A and B are shown apart, each in its own frame.
Chain A
Amino acid sequence: GAVVSQHPSWVICKSGTSVKIECRSLDFQATTMFWYRQFPKQSLMLMATSNEGSKATYEQGVEKDKFLINHASLTLSTLTVTSAHPEDSSFYICSAKAAGGADTEAFFGQGTRLTVV
Chain B
Amino acid sequence: GQNIDQPTEMTATEGAIVQINCTYQTSGFNGLFWYQQHAGEAPTFLSYNVLDGLEEKGRFSSFLSRSKGYSYLLLKELQMKDSASYLCAVGGGYNKLIFGAGTRLAVHP
A, B co-complexed: yes
Closest-by-CB residue of B relative to A42 is B101
Q: Note all chain B residues with C-beta closer than 8 A to A49.
A: 94-96
**Contacts of A58-113 to chain B: CB distance below 8 A:** 91, 93, 95, 97, 102-111, 113
Contact in complex: B43, A108 (CB < 8 Å): yes
Distance A71 CA – B16 CA, assembled complex (angstroms): 45
**Contacts of B57-109 to chain A: CB distance below 8 A:** 87, 91, 94-102, 104
User: Given A1-B45, A93-B42, A108-B42 in contact, is the A102-B95 Cβ separation under 8 Å?
Assistant: yes
Distance A91 CA – B41 CA, assembled complex (angstroms): 9
Contact in complex: A46, B96 (CB < 8 Å): yes
Closest-by-CB residue of B relative to A9 is B40
Q: How many residues of B contact A (CB 8 A)?
A: 23
Contact in complex: B95, A32 (CB < 8 Å): yes
Distance A108 CA – B42 CA, assembled complex (angstroms): 6
| Residue in contact with A103 in the complex, picked from B91, B98, B104, CB distance below 8 Å | B91
B7 at interface, CB cutoff 8 A: no
A17 at interface, CB cutoff 8 A: no
- The smallest beta-carbon distance between B100 and chain A, in angstroms, is 6
Looking at A93, A97, A103, A111, the one whose CB has the most chain B CB atoms below 10 A away is A103
User: Given A103-B48, A111-B41 in contact, is the A43-B100 Cβ separation under 8 Å?
Assistant: yes
- The smallest beta-carbon distance between B34 and chain A, in angstroms, is 12
B21 at interface, CB cutoff 8 A: no
Contact in complex: B101, A103 (CB < 8 Å): no
Contact in complex: B42, A102 (CB < 8 Å): no
Distance A54 CA – B61 CA, assembled complex (angstroms): 38
Closest-by-CB residue of B relative to A93 is B42
Distance A97 CA – B96 CA, assembled complex (angstroms): 10
| Contacts A44-B99, A46-B97 known; 6 new A-B pairs at CB < 8 A | A1-B45, A104-B95, A108-B44, A109-B42, A111-B42, A113-B40
Q: Which 4 A-B pairs have the closest CB atoms?
A: A102-B30, A108-B42, A43-B101, A43-B102
Residues of B within 8 A of A (CB): 30-31, 33, 40-45, 48, 50, 87, 91, 94-102, 104
